[in-house]
Amino acid sequence: MTVLIVEDERTLARELGIFLHNHNFACTVARTAAEARAQLADTPFDFVLLDLGLPDGDGLQVLAEAKQNELTAAVIILTARSAVEDRIGGLELGADDYLAKPFSLPELLARMHAITRRRFGLHKPRVACGAFELDLQTRQLFCAGQEVSLSVKEFNVLSYLVLHKNRVLTRLQLTEHIWGNLADTGFDSNFIDAHIKNLRKKLGQYADTDWLETVRGMGYRARL
């Protein structure tokens, strides 16, 4: 999944980026309100981690404008501001959660996982997909209790399709949402096709994969 880190403090932005990258998020950093607006206008992110005290504006204003432009990303406000009014203001503008600085990185990750479960109507980390079970928290795939070994990228593709079950996702959508601005460096549809082919080969050794569909001329769908 992709994350926009809106944070002007370079050390914290770097720490967040490294930590989330190590947990398989594709991160982009914006250090000003102007950079955040530009990124949000150009890229469909899954999460926005938003500092309120930006050097050229207020993060709440960035959030308000983004929501007017139909922002679909989940927003977690990260700020040193302690006033209850700021917390209420952010939540009323559509933020999904609020963490006061300093905060624990593992707690941030746990909140991101919780938001993902809520957004996709999940009551537990494991999601059924055919004869398989996908554990979004531990990033493991099981079939009849046996773990199916997947690469990081294979898991990313599969989990994104399963989270958006019954919805056709284009190759470009999968690339942008899983690897972020990789699409900007030269999009190649074969990149996704190769991972789908590998997934079918690996999963097919355990059970039927007819639910992992190719939609001709469009992309792929997890029909569940």
In whole angstroms, what is the distance from residue 49 CA to residue 51 CA? Answer: 7
In whole angstroms, what is the distance from residue 40 CA to residue 48 CA? Answer: 9
* Residues 144, 84 share a domain: no
Residue 156's pLDDT is what?
A: 92
Residues 6+ apart with CB under 8 A from 42: none
Residue 169's pLDDT is what?
A: 95
- Model confidence over 30-55: pLDDT tens digits? 999 999 999 999 888 999 999 998 99
* Residues 96, 194 share a domain: no
* Residues 42, 113 share a domain: yes
Q: What is the mean pLDDT of the chain?
A: 91
Q: What average pLDDT score do residues 203-214 get?
A: 96
In whole angstroms, what is the distance from residue 158 CA to residue 51 CA? Answer: 31
pTM: 0.85
Cα torsion for 193, 194, 196, 202, to the nearest 10°? 160
User: Is the pLDDT at 185 greater than 60, yes or no?
Assistant: no
Residue 130's pLDDT is what?
A: 94
Residue 90's pLDDT is what?
A: 85
User: Is the pLDDT at 186 greater than 70, yes or no?
Assistant: no
What CATH number does residue 104 fall under?
A: 3.40.50.2300
User: Is the pLDDT at 73 greater than 90, yes or no?
Assistant: yes
Percent of the chain exceeding pLDDT 70 equals 94
Residue 222's pLDDT is what?
A: 97
Residue 145's pLDDT is what?
A: 93
Specify the number of domains making up the chain: 2
Q: Any idea which of 123-127, 150-154, 168-172, 176-180 has the lowest mean pLDDT?
A: 176-180
Q: What average pLDDT score do residues 175-183 get?
A: 69
User: Is the pLDDT at 183 greater than 50, yes or no?
Assistant: no
**Which of 119, 146, 163 is the last residue in one of the domains?**
119
Q: What average pLDDT score do residues 73-96 get?
A: 86
Residues 6+ apart with CB under 8 A from 131: 143, 144, 206, 207, 208
* Residues 65, 25 share a domain: yes
155-162 long-range Cβ contacts below 8 angstroms, 24+ apart:
155/24, 156/1, 156/24, 157/192, 157/195, 157/196, 157/199, 158/129, 158/134, 158/199, 158/212, 158/222, 159/134, 160/1, 161/212, 161/220, 161/221, 161/222, 162/127, 162/129, 162/134, 162/222, 162/224
Residue 43's pLDDT is what?
A: 87
User: Is the pLDDT at 187 greater than 70, yes or no?
Assistant: no
Q: What average pLDDT score do residues 79-94 get?
A: 81
Domain that holds residue 104: 2-119
Q: Residue 144 region, left (φ>0) first, then alpha (ψ -120 to 50), else beta?
A: left
What CATH number does residue 185 fall under?
A: 1.10.10.10
**Contact at 8 Å (CB) between 109 and 136?**
no
Q: What average pLDDT score do residues 85-100 get?
A: 88
